[in-house]
Homo-oligomer: A and B are copies of this chain.
Amino acid sequence: MSMLSQQVQTYLESSSWIRRMFEAGREMKAKYGEDQVYDFSLGNPDLPPPAAVTKGLQRLAEQAQSSYAFGYMPNAGYPDVRQALAQRLSREQQVALSEQELLLSCGAAGGLNVLFRAILEPGDEVVCPAPFFVEYTFYVQNHGGVLRTVPSREPDFALDIEGIEAALSEKTRIVLINSPNNPTGRVYSASELRQLAAVLDAASRKYGRPILLVSDEPYRFLTFDGTQVPPVLPAYQHSVVVSSFSKNLSLAGERVGYLALNPEMPGKEELMDGLVLTNRILGFVNAPALGQRLVGYCLEASVDLEVYEKRRAAMVEALDAGGYTYAVPQGAFYFFVQAPGGDDVAFVQTLQEERVLAVPGSGFGFPGYFRLSFCVPETVIRNGAASLARARQRWQ
């Protein structure tokens, strides 16, 4: 008899096809050689961390021999790191943030779990545009909530404001957006945010309690063609930004992120008290001490963005040569491409036969498309172009 809960057993069963895909990719690499398989399936930053990370680790080594060097700290994180981050975010978000509105979290994933744990009652709903980062489903269900998704507008994945409005109910506690979006690369415009805020204001009044707007922004650092990511905090009073340093500092394994509350939000103190508590009781206790310190030293650092620009250009070339239909991503490191023939799972299978690894849109709640990550060396993209084209031809 299984020791796992029914729900977790079901999760394991339904994730088995992803595992099969992953295993198939690994077998292909073993058979044909690493460089003969074009793996566009993962969003795992391959650039080395910026030099500031090395210097930061040296500084940490120098500080190690003291009491409480990396001991317990306030559950919200080191006050000085939060203060420095508040300054940076005040510029980014165009509001006056202080460390009081900041909680350092175990990545954005930890931040979202802490937030959902603090807010959701069983059956409460989180509304989210599709396609969406598939882990959101789990983060919401972990805390008894329900993720309600609203398809975005094709072909450019703009928010369907009317669709979101129609999805709101007395059960809605949170609307969750992700900009730049994984998997589409879409950046929501200031005008979209304004319209969304108006809808949320009206619904909050209608149902007699605030609906929170949560913006998940780990790709904010990575936009193209001069695209700006408009700040969400000035657009809506009950707003929260969640983000991480996984991608911009190539520190994904160290798990440092944050939650930032709108300083204009009524009741923000109580909400922060709740977040500090749930950060503690969910077992995070605090964001990792070494990572917090490192991030504090590296707030102005970043991996080399030009590398990503070149990769995006290479992918545009490859997709155009193959005759694919897609929206050029404004940010992040993904293309969300129409599946020739319309069946994304079938087409991803064809790609795999041509030694190209991709993720079907169904995995993001949006069938008919597939995701290609360009977080891979440019040569992989260039060398994979012919395979991409062959797969397309097979579905003419």
Contact = CB atoms under 8 A, between A and B. Distances in A.
Interface of A: 1-9, 11-12, 15, 44-49, 51, 53-55, 57-58, 60-61, 64-73, 106-107, 109-114, 117-121, 135, 138-139, 142, 144, 173, 208-210, 212, 238, 250-255, 267, 270-271, 273-274, 277-278, 280-286, 288-292, 294
Nearest to A2: B270
B117 A142 contact: yes
The 9 residue pairs across chains A and B that have the minimum distance between CB atoms: A253-B289, A138-B281, A109-B283, A57-B61, A288-B288, A113-B283, A110-B283, A54-B64, A4-B274
B46 A67 contact: yes
A273 B80 CA distance: 39
A253 B288 contact: yes
A245 B280 CA distance: 17
A393 B333 CA distance: 70
A224 B114 CA distance: 38
Nearest to A290: B290
Given A64-B53, A70-B250, A112-B283, A278 B46 contact: no
Contact of A69 (B121, B208, B250): B250
Contacts of A282: 113, 142, 282
A284 B106 contact: yes
A117 B51 CA distance: 38
A281 B281 CA distance: 16
A65 B49 contact: yes
B64 A46 contact: no
Given A12-B274, A139-B283, A289-B254, A45 B65 contact: no
22 contacts: A1-B209, A2-B267, A2-B270, A5-B118, A6-B121, A8-B118, A8-B278, A11-B277, A11-B281, A44-B68, A44-B72, A45-B71, A46-B67, A46-B71, A48-B66, A49-B65, A57-B290, A117-B142, A138-B281, A253-B288, A254-B290, A283-B284
